Amino acid sequence: MMNKILRENKIVAGILTVLRLYLGYEWMTAGYHKLTGGFDASGFLKGAIANPVKGPEGNVLYGWYVDFLQHLALPNAHIFNTIVPLGEFLVGLGLILGCLTTAAAFFALVMNFAYMFAGTISSNPMDILLGVFIIAAGYNAGRIGLDRWVIPFITKFAAKNNNTDHVKRSA
């Protein structure tokens, strides 16, 4: 019942639009400040490696993530200096415009979890909660936005190009 309300109710679509706009603004401004402010991920990566998330006994909880940061992210920080701010900005733009909303919310969640694995709490838990609602709502989260036109176009385009006649012909 809750899923049906989230996915179909027009009043909920309005509430989701407000949540979407809030999250989009947060992501877009964070990305914009990084794009225009000379962002360098190296310091953050070094800090996350030096101070990993630890459990009650002092053991490192996400050793695999620390290894990822140390052996892949830090040596390629110049790539992360581009994809992090650009990703944040584009996720924010997608949420604000309501364009490919569920994809934007998914990538927002991926970035939220990446920050949390690195030990940064900040607003990430709240952003994750709101992102889960947006993803669960699916199309309804972008109903008041560009998804109203984009999703039907993509669906029609995919159906048109999903030619299964070749299977019948080869049999």
Neighbours of 134 (CB within 10 A): 24
Question: Does some domain include residue 167?
Answer: no
Could you tell me if 9 and 140 are in contact, meaning their C-beta atoms sit under 8 angstroms apart? yes
Share of the chain above pLDDT 70, in %: 95
DSSP conformation class of 61 = S
Question: Does some domain include residue 47?
Answer: yes
Question: Does some domain include residue 169?
Answer: no
DSSP conformation class of 20 = H
Tell me the pLDDT band of 166, cut-offs 50, 70 and 90. Answer: low
Higher pLDDT, 170 or 116: 116
Question: Does some domain include residue 168?
Answer: no
Strand partners, 54: 60
| pLDDT score recorded for residue 161 | 83
| pLDDT score recorded for residue 169 | 47
Question: Does some domain include residue 6?
Answer: yes
* Alpha-carbon gap, residue 45 to 120, rounded angstroms: 11
Domains identified in the chain, total number = 1
| pLDDT score recorded for residue 165 | 53
Tell me the pLDDT band of 162, cut-offs 50, 70 and 90. Answer: confident
Return all residues near 31 (Cβ < 8 A) that are at least 6 apart.
85, 86, 87, 88, 89, 90, 91, 92
SS3 68: helix
Question: Does some domain include residue 170?
Answer: no
| pLDDT score recorded for residue 160 | 86
Domain encompassing residue 136: 2-162
Question: Does some domain include residue 113?
Answer: yes
Looking only at Cα atoms, what is the longest distance across the chain? Answer: 64
Question: Does some domain include residue 100?
Answer: yes
Q: What is the pLDDT of residues 1-39, one digit of tens each?
A: 889 999 999 999 999 999 999 999 999 999 999 999 999
